[in-house]
């Protein structure tokens, strides 16, 4: 295992009640400070693996180690961003973003102050008192992201966060996410079924094959994200080559 | 054409139509016992004027209010327990399903013979009819909690207690309130049956007494008054419910 | 519920309750609760008697008549209300008033006008049952997928074909839900109607048994009536489940 692996997945298998084998023998190391993506067609178990790392689902076999400690459930060092946003419909944006801190017993003034900072960061500054039903899908997911940032976890786990928004919003999000993460020292584990999204965002891509979920290949990205303008990446030759390469691999599973 | 008429106008047309037909039917010699609209209206006003209606309601409302209060406290509590605990659910759900479908009114005469003809029997009649629906609604409200929100709560390190207080109960409150409204409707049914069967007091008395002296306009007026009263109260609750729990706040606007 | 590692289905809790009932009865904890075995025995004795079978057949007859009327009137009315806006607006008000109103209050006037007999019970059942059917049919038809209707018209469906082949089937889950609820109300209507009239059917029997403190007979009759209500409503629920498969993809 590489020295800077913050997450170690050891022999994880998961079989659901009813005999559906979602994952079979996953061994993986995910590096600190980088954005890694779990990519694959439906049925490859990527969301299952993500939730096992998050501690939301127990594995049938195997262990996950995060920061040198065995995973036994959710923890303060891991924050989750949900595909369907999972916002309290009866709570304002401010309440929702501060919710993680509310659960930890942080005092109201303090947690709202921290929340406001992150609401501003994701570009929702004037929407603090709005309610989820008044926001578009894209804005709701920003709330979800702000909530994950507010608890200041080392690791952010994102479960197809942009799949419920339209294409244009999605592209904008991807660019903004790169901008946002550029100066933070967070580790991000991202789940998607979009090849372009994976190559655009990731430093490392883990390809999974379906039924049962297994690791097919791990691809290191050679796109230089630190220097390059987010808008330029999609014209980078490495980007286009990698997308094509991955498609050739995944094509056989569709 | 009809798009330009406000809903208020339609209600007026509706009332006018029905009252018109009623008036007509009442004058037609179908039966001596069927009073016309105008006769009923007159009788109603006279009963309001001489205070007999108010007196009757004062008596009727007592067991209703007490019964509903008891049913609500016990019913909501029990329903929540059923929702939160699989063991309580196992014991109670089949029984509750049967009780909700069953004609509980059959028990009411028995109650009289056991508990006498006073307040107790009537309160029990209300409780027996109103409780099942309150329990079942509270139970369903808890059980139907949004699993995604619960998962989110766990992901951010919420304890089970926080889960219940911050996610499950707020989400269930809409259905619990609906249950109260339905329970009240059943309560009205219970108190009417109780008063017609057990002992003529309150509204039941007005109905049975006037029936026995063949004063049909008065009798019908009393009946109409309780129906209107029940309808208005329940409608008011419905509006309150819609105001407190609009679908967006319940998270339902994306349903289906 | 898991006992000795094996999962026991919820239905068995009813058996547990029967055992508890037996214990309470034998311990004589309440005058009105005889042992469950006694109730069963009483049930077996009274069911074959002519008095019982007459009461049951009268009640069943009133129930069937009242329910049929409610269906025959309620479903078309619901459809009409959904398709013709003015009818919907005029009748909607009254349907909403009567659906939660204490209809039992109307029974005395029914007795005075129609008489003390089966017809009053039939009308009571009708009134108890019809409003739910109207509302649920109305909702079902109104929510029927516009695009399905358009599709049918595109392929040349006539008016009646649209109704029978698309609309009705589309609304069937809601209609069946309404029928199930109305069946439960119908049973309540029979019992309440007969209780208030007190000289026919099971209502009379209930009154009789209560009056003479024949508790075992009383509870036996309660079980019979409750079981009937449950069986009928579950039969409709069965039909509901058979159309459930398309309910969510509409």
Looking at the DSSP bridge assignments, the partners of residue A63 are A10
Amino acid B251: pLDDT: 66
- The mean per-residue pLDDT over the stretch C11-25 comes to 86
> Could you tell me if A123 and A244 lie in one domain?
no
| B248/A100 Cβ within 8 A | no
Q: Does residue B135 sit within a domain? A: yes
User: CA-based angle B141:B71:C14, to the nearest 5?
Assistant: 70
Q: Does residue B18 sit within a domain? A: no
- Residues B216 and A62: their CA atoms lie apart, in Å, by 81
| B248/A103 Cβ within 8 A | no
Q: Does residue A231 sit within a domain? A: yes
Write the ipTM: 0.85
Residue among C32, C98, C192 minimizing CB distance to B193? C192
On the question of pLDDT at A2 being above 60, the answer is no
CATH code: domain of residue B125: 1.10.3720.10
Which one of A88, A145, A159, A160 would you mutate to disrupt binding with B, by most B Cβ within 10 Å of its Cβ? A88
- CA B55 to the chain's CA centroid: 22
| C89/B197 Cβ within 8 A | no
**Alpha helix ranges (H) inside chain B:** 7-27, 37-49, 52-84, 86-101, 107-115, 119-143, 147-155, 160-162, 169-197, 202-212, 216-244, 247-250
Distance (Å) from the C-alpha of residue A75 to the closest C-alpha of chain B? 7
> Could you tell me if A132 and A144 lie in one domain?
yes
On the question of pLDDT at B154 being above 80, the answer is yes
| Summary mean pLDDT of chain B | 86
Chain A: partners with 3+ C-beta pairs within 8 Å: B
Amino acid B256: pLDDT: 31
Residue among A54, A74, A88 minimizing CB distance to B149? A88
> Could you tell me if A212 and A199 lie in one domain?
yes
What is each CA distance from C195 to B75, B109, B110, in whole angstroms? 27, 8, 11
Q: Does residue B255 sit within a domain? A: no
Topology (CATH) of C49-247: MetI-like fold (1.10.3720)
| A54/B156 Cβ within 8 A | no
The model's pLDDT over C178-219, given as tens digits with 9 standing for 90+, comes to 999 999 999 999 998 888 886 788 888 888 888 888 888 888
- The mean per-residue pLDDT over the stretch A163-176 comes to 86
Amino acid A212: pLDDT: 85
| B151/A56 Cβ within 8 A | yes
Q: Which helix (H) or strand (E) holds A30?
A: strand A21-31
Amino acid B255: pLDDT: 40
Distance (Å) from the C-alpha of residue A104 to the closest C-alpha of chain B? 7
Q: Does residue A174 sit within a domain? A: no
What is each CA distance from C196 to B111, B189, B203, B227, C57, in whole angstroms? 15, 13, 15, 18, 18
> Could you tell me if A200 and A247 lie in one domain?
yes
| A86/B156 Cβ within 8 A | no
Distance (Å) from the C-alpha of residue B168 to the closest C-alpha of chain C? 22
Question: What does R_g of chain A's alpha carbons equal in angstroms?
Answer: 18
Looking at the DSSP bridge assignments, the partners of residue A208 are A215
Confidence band (pLDDT; 50, 70, 90) for A116? Answer: very high
Amino acid B4: pLDDT: 65
B69 — phi, psi (to 5°)?
-60, -50
Count of CB atoms within 10 A of residue B190's CB?
30
Chain A CB contacts of B162 under 8 Å are 103
Cα nearest neighbour of B218 on chain C: C109
Q: A140 and A31 in contact (C-beta within 8 Å)?
A: no
A47-76 residues touching B, CB cutoff 8 A = 54, 56, 73-76
Amino acid B2: pLDDT: 52
Q: Does residue A46 sit within a domain? A: yes
Amino acid C243: pLDDT: 81
Q: C22 and C36 in contact (C-beta within 8 Å)?
A: yes
| B167/A86 Cβ within 8 A | no
On the question of pLDDT at C120 being above 80, the answer is yes
CA-closest candidate to residue A157, choices A9, A8, A35: A35
Distance (Å) from the C-alpha of residue C189 to the closest C-alpha of chain B? 8
Residue among B103, B185, B216 minimizing CB distance to C191? B103
Q: C213 and C225 in contact (C-beta within 8 Å)?
A: no
| B219/C109 Cβ within 8 A | yes
Which one of A89, A101, A140 would you mutate to disrupt binding with B, by most B Cβ within 10 Å of its Cβ? A89
Residue among C1, C112, C230 minimizing CB distance to B101? C230
Amino acid B78: pLDDT: 95
Amino acid C152: pLDDT: 80
Amino acid B199: pLDDT: 67
Q: C167 and C213 in contact (C-beta within 8 Å)?
A: no
Predicted TM-score (pTM) of this structure: 0.85
Confidence band (pLDDT; 50, 70, 90) for C226? Answer: confident
Chain B CB contacts of C233 under 8 Å are 101
Which one of B145, B148, B154, B155 would you mutate to disrupt binding with A, by most A Cβ within 10 Å of its Cβ? B155
Which one of B150, B152, B158, B167 would you mutate to disrupt binding with A, by most A Cβ within 10 Å of its Cβ? B152
Burial profile C159-169: b = 16 or more Cβ within 10 angstroms, e = fewer: eeebbeebbbb
On the question of pLDDT at A29 being above 70, the answer is yes
The model's pLDDT over B158-212, given as tens digits with 9 standing for 90+, comes to 999 999 999 999 989 999 999 999 999 999 999 998 888 876 778 888 888 887 8
Chain B CB contacts of C131 under 8 Å are none
The model's pLDDT over C127-139, given as tens digits with 9 standing for 90+, comes to 999 999 999 999 8
Amino acid A181: pLDDT: 82
Question: Tokens 């084998």, residue?
Answer: A21
Q: Which domain holds residue A107?
A: 79-152
Amino acid B123: pLDDT: 93
Torsion of CA C196, C197, C199, C202, to 10 degrees: -50
- Residues A65 and A70: their CA atoms lie apart, in Å, by 4
What percent of chain C stands above pLDDT 90? 19
Chain C CB contacts of B33 under 8 Å are 109, 112-113
The model's pLDDT over B119-141, given as tens digits with 9 standing for 90+, comes to 888 999 999 999 999 999 999 99
Name the DSSP letter for residue A213.
B
Judge residue A223's burial from the number of C-beta atoms within 10 Å of its C-beta, 0-12 exposed, 13-18 middle, 19 or more buried: middle
> Could you tell me if A43 and A100 lie in one domain?
no
Structure tokens at C19: 């055992």
Split into its structural domains, chain B has a count of 1
Residue A151 sits at the chain B interface (C-beta within 8 Å): yes
Residue A107 sits at the chain B interface (C-beta within 8 Å): no
The model's pLDDT over A70-92, given as tens digits with 9 standing for 90+, comes to 988 899 999 999 998 999 999 99
Q: Is the peptide bond before A227 cis (omega within 30 degrees of 0)?
A: no
| B182/C109 Cβ within 8 A | no
| B219/C13 Cβ within 8 A | no
Chain B CB contacts of C31 under 8 Å are 114
Distance (Å) from the C-alpha of residue A80 to the closest C-alpha of chain B? 7
Chain B CB contacts of A88 under 8 Å are 149, 166-167, 170
| Summary mean pLDDT of chain A | 88
Distance (Å) from the C-alpha of residue A228 to the closest C-alpha of chain B? 34
Amino acid B126: pLDDT: 93
Amino acid B132: pLDDT: 94
Looking at the DSSP bridge assignments, the partners of residue A26 are A12
Chain B: partners with 3+ C-beta pairs within 8 Å: A, C
On the question of pLDDT at B35 being above 50, the answer is yes
- Residues A112 and A79: their CA atoms lie apart, in Å, by 18
Q: Which residues of B touch A (CB under 8 A)?
A: 148-149, 151-159, 162, 166-167, 170, 248-251, 253
On the question of pLDDT at A112 being above 80, the answer is yes
Cα nearest neighbour of A99 on chain B: B156
> Could you tell me if A254 and A194 lie in one domain?
yes
On the question of pLDDT at C36 being above 80, the answer is yes
Chain B CB contacts of A151 under 8 Å are 156
Judge residue A90's burial from the number of C-beta atoms within 10 Å of its C-beta, 0-12 exposed, 13-18 middle, 19 or more buried: buried
Chain C CB contacts of B92 under 8 Å are 13
Amino acid B237: pLDDT: 93
Residue A82 sits at the chain B interface (C-beta within 8 Å): yes
| B109/C206 Cβ within 8 A | yes
Which one of C100, C249, C250 would you mutate to disrupt binding with B, by most B Cβ within 10 Å of its Cβ? C100
| B249/A131 Cβ within 8 A | yes
Split into its structural domains, chain A has a count of 2
Domain range list for chain C? 49-247
CA-closest candidate to residue A189, choices A221, A161, A166, A219: A161
Q: Are strands A69-70 and A204-209 parallel, antiparallel or unpaired?
A: unpaired
Q: What is the DSSP string of B148-176?
A: HHHHHHHHTT--HHHIIIIIIHHHHHHHH
- Residues B188 and B225: their CA atoms lie apart, in Å, by 12
| A90/B156 Cβ within 8 A | no
The model's pLDDT over B46-95, given as tens digits with 9 standing for 90+, comes to 888 888 888 888 888 999 999 999 999 999 999 999 999 988 998 898 88
| Summary mean pLDDT of chain C | 85
Burial profile C171-190: b = 16 or more Cβ within 10 angstroms, e = fewer: bbbbbbbbbbbbbbbbbbbb
How many CB pairs below 8 Å do chains A and B form together? 60
| C206/B13 Cβ within 8 A | no
Q: B181 and B239 in contact (C-beta within 8 Å)?
A: no
Contact partners, residue C193, CB within 8 Å, separation at least 6 = C62, C107, C120, C121, C124, C125, C203
Residue among B34, B105, B211 minimizing CB distance to C195? B105
Amino acid A214: pLDDT: 87
CATH code: domain of residue A219: 3.40.50.300
Confidence band (pLDDT; 50, 70, 90) for B254? Answer: very low
- The mean per-residue pLDDT over the stretch C218-222 comes to 87
Mean pLDDT lowest among B181-190, C63-72, C233-242: C233-242
Q: B53 and B222 in contact (C-beta within 8 Å)?
A: yes
Q: Are strands A21-31 and A5-15 parallel, antiparallel or unpaired?
A: antiparallel
The model's pLDDT over A190-236, given as tens digits with 9 standing for 90+, comes to 999 889 899 988 889 999 988 888 888 888 887 776 666 777 778 78
């Amino acid at each position: 295992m590489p020295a800077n692996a913050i997450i170690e997945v050891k022999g994880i298998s998961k079989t659901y009640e009813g005999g559906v084998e979602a994952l079979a023998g996953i061994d993986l190391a995910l590096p600190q400070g980088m954005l890694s993506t779990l990519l694959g067609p439906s049925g490859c178990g990527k969301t299952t693996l993500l939730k096992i790392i998050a501690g939301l689902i127990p594995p049938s076999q195997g262990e996950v180690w995060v920061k040198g400690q065995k995973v036994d459930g959710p923890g303060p060092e891991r924050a989750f961003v949900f595909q369907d946003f999972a916002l309290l419909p009866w709570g304002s944006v401010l309440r929702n973003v501060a919710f993680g801190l509310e659960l930890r017993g942080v005092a109201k003034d303090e947690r709202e102050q921290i929340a406001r900072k992150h609401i501003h960061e994701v570009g929702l500054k004037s929407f603090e008192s709005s309610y989820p039903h008044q926001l578009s899908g894209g804005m709701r997911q920003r709330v979800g992201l702000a909530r994950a940032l507010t608890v200041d976890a080392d690791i952010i786990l994102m479960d197809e966060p942009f799949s419920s928004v339209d294409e244009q919003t999605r592209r904008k999000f991807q660019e903004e996410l790169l901008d946002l993460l550029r100066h933070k020292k967070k580790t991000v584990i991202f789940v998607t079924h979009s090849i372009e999204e994976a190559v655009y965002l990731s430093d490392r891509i883990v390809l999974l094959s379906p039924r049962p979920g297994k690791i097919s290949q791990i691809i290191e990205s050679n796109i230089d994200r630190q220097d390059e303008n987010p808008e330029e990446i999609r014209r980078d030759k490495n980007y286009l080559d990698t997308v094509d390469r991955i498609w050739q691999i995944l094509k056989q599973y569709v | 054409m009809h798009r330009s008429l406000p809903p208020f106008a339609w209600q007026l047309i509706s009332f006018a139509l029905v009252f018109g037909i009623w008036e007509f039917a009442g004058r037609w010699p179908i039966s001596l016992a069927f009073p016309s609209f105008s006769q009923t209206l007159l009788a109603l006003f006279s009963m309001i004027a001489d205070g007999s209606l108010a007196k009757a309601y004062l008596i009727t409302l007592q067991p209703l209010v007490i019964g509903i209060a008891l049913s609500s406290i016990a019913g909501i509590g029990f329903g929540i327990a059923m929702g939160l605990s699989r063991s309580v659910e196992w014991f109670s759900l089949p029984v509750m399903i049967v009780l909700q479908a069953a004609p509980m009114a059959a028990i009411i005469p028995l109650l009289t013979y056991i508990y006498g003809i006073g307040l107790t029997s009537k309160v029990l009649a209300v409780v027996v009819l109103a409780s099942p629906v309150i329990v079942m609604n509270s139970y369903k409200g808890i059980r139907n909690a949004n699993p995604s929100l619960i998962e989110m709560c766990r992901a951010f390190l919420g304890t089970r207690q926080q889960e219940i207080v911050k996610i499950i109960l707020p989400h269930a409150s809409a259905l619990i309130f609906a249950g109260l409204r339905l329970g009240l409707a059943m309560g009205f049914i219970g108190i009417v049956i109780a008063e017609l069967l057990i002992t003529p007091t309150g509204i039941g008395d007005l109905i049975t007494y006037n029936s026995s002296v063949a004063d049909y306009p008065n009798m019908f007026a009393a009946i109409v008054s309780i129906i209107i009263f029940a309808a208005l109260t329940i409608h008011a609750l419905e509006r309150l419910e819609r105001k407190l729990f609009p679908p967006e706040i319940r998270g339902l606007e994306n349903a289906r | 519920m898991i006992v000795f590692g094996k999962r026991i289905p919820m239905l068995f809790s009813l058996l547990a309750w029967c055992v508890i009932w037996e214990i309470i009865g034998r311990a004589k904890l309440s005058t009105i609760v005889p042992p469950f075995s006694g109730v069963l025995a009483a049930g077996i004795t009274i069911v074959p008697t002519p008095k019982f079978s007459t009461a049951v057949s009268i009640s069943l007859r009133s129930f069937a008549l009242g329910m049929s009327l409610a269906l025959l009137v309620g479903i078309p009315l619901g459809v009409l209300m959904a398709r013709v806006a003015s009818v919907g607006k005029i009748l909607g008000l009254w349907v909403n008033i009567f659906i939660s109103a204490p209809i039992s209050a109307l029974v005395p006037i029914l007795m005075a006008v129609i008489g003390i007999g089966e017809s009053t019970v039939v009308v009571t059942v009708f009134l108890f049952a019809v409003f739910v059917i109207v509302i649920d049919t109305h909702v079902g038809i109104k929510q029927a997928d516009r695009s399905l209707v358009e599709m049918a018209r595109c392929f040349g469906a006539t008016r009646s074909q649209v109704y029978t082949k698309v609309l009705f089937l589309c609304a069937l889950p809601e209609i069946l839900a309404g029928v199930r609820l109305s069946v439960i109300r119908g049973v309540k209507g029979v019992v309440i109607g007969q209780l208030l009239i007190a000289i026919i059917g099971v209502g009379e029997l209930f009154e009789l048994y209560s009056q003479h403190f024949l508790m075992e007979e009383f509870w036996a009759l309660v079980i019979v009536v409750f079981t009937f209500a449950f069986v009928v409503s579950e039969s409709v629920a069965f039909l509901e489940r058979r159309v459930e498969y398309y309910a969510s993809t509409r």
